[in-house]
């Protein structure tokens, strides 16, 4: 990812409108600068992705302070809490026999999400410990890898994709989605972006099916909510309107707008439970999770839930066509 981004930043690339962006990095880095970027200890083990420009910005000494230490400690505490929820609390609740299959699916998906938060906050703490993330404008350390609240209370599936891994989202948006959209259109660029994500994560049917479903869901929801927003003249887009730039007649504080947006939150929680159940390994053989499951395992998990999420997505797509 670092090498790909550096190649784009050295040459420049066309944006969504087809306009050529100038090179961000003016010249090829020397050997030591290049190796310090690619093999930087702070991001080698747990990540996250950094551009060469971001990396170079932090090469100069950053002031170590109490705030720096507190940011590291607080990130590690949050990581430990997420680990406890993932491997202790949620699996314990998952074994309760009175849960129906959908509640069990939500618990299994939540356990997987919190394991991801654990790695993300560990990544955040190791990155800050190495000196990345100091903002001199506000004299504070402000580097984020994930926003769990935006995932756990998902306004839209596109917000889930964005906040699941912020540096990864930045890479995919700038170096895959934007350069390809002018050639493939919006939906084609979305599919290419999520296919690239699947390839970078380790291509297997299980992961590819989840990521491509997520990308398709996000696109369908975005189109539907854009049409609803125009017809109703209301703040029901997949992303919240800015306070100053909102031109809708019906603002997000009106009761029926709140109710509609809340309905989409519940719909997205349903989709997350369906997609996340794929990573439930409670009753699976040890070691299978690392190598990925076969397509029969994937279809079996979704068949247990009657493929309901995909049927709902199809219904949502048909509704967007009608509108």
- Which pairs with CB-CB distance under 8 Å and at least 24 residues apart come from 179-186? 179/8, 179/13, 179/14, 179/15, 181/16, 182/14, 182/16, 182/17, 182/18, 186/219
CA distance 142 to 11: 30
What is the Cα–Cα distance from 87 to 109, expressed in whole angstroms? 12
User: By the 8 A CB rule, do 131 and 58 touch?
Assistant: yes
Name the residues annotated as catalytic: 201
Q: How many CB atoms lie within 10 A of CB 187?
A: 14
CA angle (101 as vertex; 258, 218 as ends), nearest 5: 45
In terms of Cβ atoms closer than 10 Å to its own Cβ (0-12, 13-18, 19+), residue 283 is exposed
């Amino acid at each position: 990812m670092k090498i790909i981004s550096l190649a784009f930043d050295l040459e420049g690339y066309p944006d969504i409108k087809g306009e050529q962006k100038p090179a961000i990095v003016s010249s090829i880095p020397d050997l030591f600068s290049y190796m310090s970027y690619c093999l930087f200890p702070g991001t080698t083990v747990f990540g996250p992705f950094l551009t060469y420009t971001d990396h170079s910005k932090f090469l100069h000494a950053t002031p170590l302070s109490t705030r720096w230490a507190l940011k590291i400690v607080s990130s590690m505490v949050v990581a430990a809490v997420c680990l406890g929820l993932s491997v202790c609390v949620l699996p314990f609740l998952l074994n309760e026999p009175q849960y129906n299959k959908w509640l069990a699916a939500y618990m299994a998906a939540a356990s997987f999400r919190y394991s991801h938060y654990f790695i993300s906050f560990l990544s955040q703490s190791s990155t800050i410990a190495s000196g990345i993330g100091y903002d001199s404008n506000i004299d504070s350390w402000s580097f984020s890898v994930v926003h769990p609240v935006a995932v756990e209370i998902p306004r839209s599936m596109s917000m889930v994709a964005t906040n699941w891994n912020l540096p990864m989202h930045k890479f995919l948006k700038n170096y895959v989605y934007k350069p390809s959209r002018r050639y493939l259109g919006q939906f084609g660029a979305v599919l290419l972006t999520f296919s690239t994500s699947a390839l970078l994560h380790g291509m297997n049917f299980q992961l590819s099916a989840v990521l491509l479903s997520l990308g398709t869901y996000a696109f369908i929801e975005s189109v539907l909510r854009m049409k609803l927003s125009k017809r109703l003249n209301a703040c029901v887009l997949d992303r919240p309107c800015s306070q100053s730039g909102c031109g809708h007649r019906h603002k997000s504080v009106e009761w029926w707008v709140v109710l509609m947006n809340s309905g989409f939150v519940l719909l997205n929680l349903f989709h997350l439970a369906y997609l996340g159940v794929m990573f439930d390994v409670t009753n699976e053989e040890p070691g299978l999770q690392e190598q990925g499951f076969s397509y029969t395992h994937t279809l079996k998990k979704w068949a247990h839930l009657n493929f309901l999420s995909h049927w709902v997505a199809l219904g949502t797509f048909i509704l967007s066509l009608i509108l």
